[in-house]
Structure formats: structure tokens, C-alpha cells
């Protein structure tokens, strides 16, 4: 009868260690590391170490967010590089167009008002 209860307790502990290993599959530690840590140290210590390790899904999400932020940053940098000409330069160009006779006074005032926005 003692052997029977011994096997039940042994099976329960191995099952618990296997469950901790399964928890480790979704984490950076992995199944085998979590399983063997629980086997050699204790199931409780193995569970704590497994739960402390980082979750793979969270790490992948953080990487995707970082990629998106970098892409947005590059897009904003491109937009600001395109708008490097100052308003003073644009006004000088408009004045040159007006003086050369390519645009009249009303067109000049309209374009100048658009630049000041």
C-alpha cells in the first residue's frame, strides 16, 4: 500500500514538473529549461523562475512597436527635410516673379497670404 501512495505522489510531482515545463514553452526559458530546473531544484523554484522569464508574445509585441515607431520617425524626418526652404526664401522668389512680370500684384498678395499660413 505504501508503494502505491509513493507512485501516486511521484506521478503527481512529475506531472507538476511537466506542467511547469508547459508554462515555460510560451516564455523565453523554454520547455526543457523549465522542466529540468523544476526537476533538479524543486517545482516551486522552477515555477518562480519560469514565471520571472519574459513572455515571447510581449517581446514580439515590443519589437513590432519599436519597428513602427522607427518607421514613423523616418517618415517625419523625410517630411521635415522636404520643407527646409524658409518662408523668407519663398517670399524672395515671389518678389522676383513679381518684378520680372510673371505674376501681377494680386497674385503676389494671394501667394504671400498662402505662405504666411
- Predicted confidence (pLDDT) per residue in 64-117, tens digit: 999 999 989 888 887 777 656 677 788 888 888 888 888 888 888 888 888 765
Grid coordinates representing 75? 517618415
Domain hosting residue 110, numbered range: 85-115
Q: Quote the pLDDT of residue 5.
A: 86
Q: Quote the pLDDT of residue 67.
A: 93
Quick check: is 42 in a domain?
yes
C-beta separation of 49 from 27 below 8 A: no
What is the SS3 assignment for 55? strand
Q: Within this chain, do residues 46 and 89 fall inside the same structural domain, yes or no?
A: no
Per the structure, the count of domains in the chain is: 2
φ, ψ at 49 (rounded to 5°): -65, -40
What is the SS3 assignment for 26? coil
Quick check: is 69 in a domain?
no
User: Given 30, 53, 76, which residue is the final one in a domain?
Assistant: 53
Quick check: is 44 in a domain?
yes
What is the SS3 assignment for 27? strand
Rounded to whole angstroms, how far apart are CA atoms 93 and 82? 17
Tell me: pLDDT of 4 over 90: no
Q: Quote the pLDDT of residue 85.
A: 66
Quick check: is 90 in a domain?
yes
Tell me: pLDDT of 8 over 80: yes
Rounded to whole angstroms, how far apart are CA atoms 22 and 30? 8
Whose grid coordinates read 515590443?
Answer: 62
Q: Within this chain, do residues 6 and 47 fall inside the same structural domain, yes or no?
A: yes
Quick check: is 76 in a domain?
no
pTM of the model: 0.53
Rounded to whole angstroms, how far apart are CA atoms 78 and 104? 34
Amino acid at each position: 500500500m505504501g508503494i502505491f501512495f509513493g507512485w501516486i505522489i511521484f506521478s503527481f510531482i512529475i506531472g507538476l514538473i511537466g506542467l511547469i515545463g508547459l508554462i515555460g514553452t510560451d516564455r523565453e526559458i523554454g520547455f526543457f529549461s523549465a522542466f529540468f530546473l523544476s526537476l533538479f531544484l524543486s517545482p516551486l523554484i522552477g515555477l518562480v523562475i519560469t514565471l520571472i522569464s519574459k513572455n515571447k508574445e510581449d517581446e514580439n509585441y515590443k519589437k513590432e512597436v519599436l519597428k513602427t515607431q522607427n518607421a514613423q520617425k523616418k517618415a517625419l524626418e523625410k517630411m521635415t527635410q522636404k520643407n527646409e526652404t524658409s518662408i523668407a526664401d519663398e517670399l524672395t522668389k515671389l518678389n522676383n516673379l513679381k518684378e520680372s512680370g510673371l505674376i501681377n500684384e494680386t497674385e503676389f498678395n494671394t501667394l504671400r497670404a498662402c505662405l504666411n499660413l
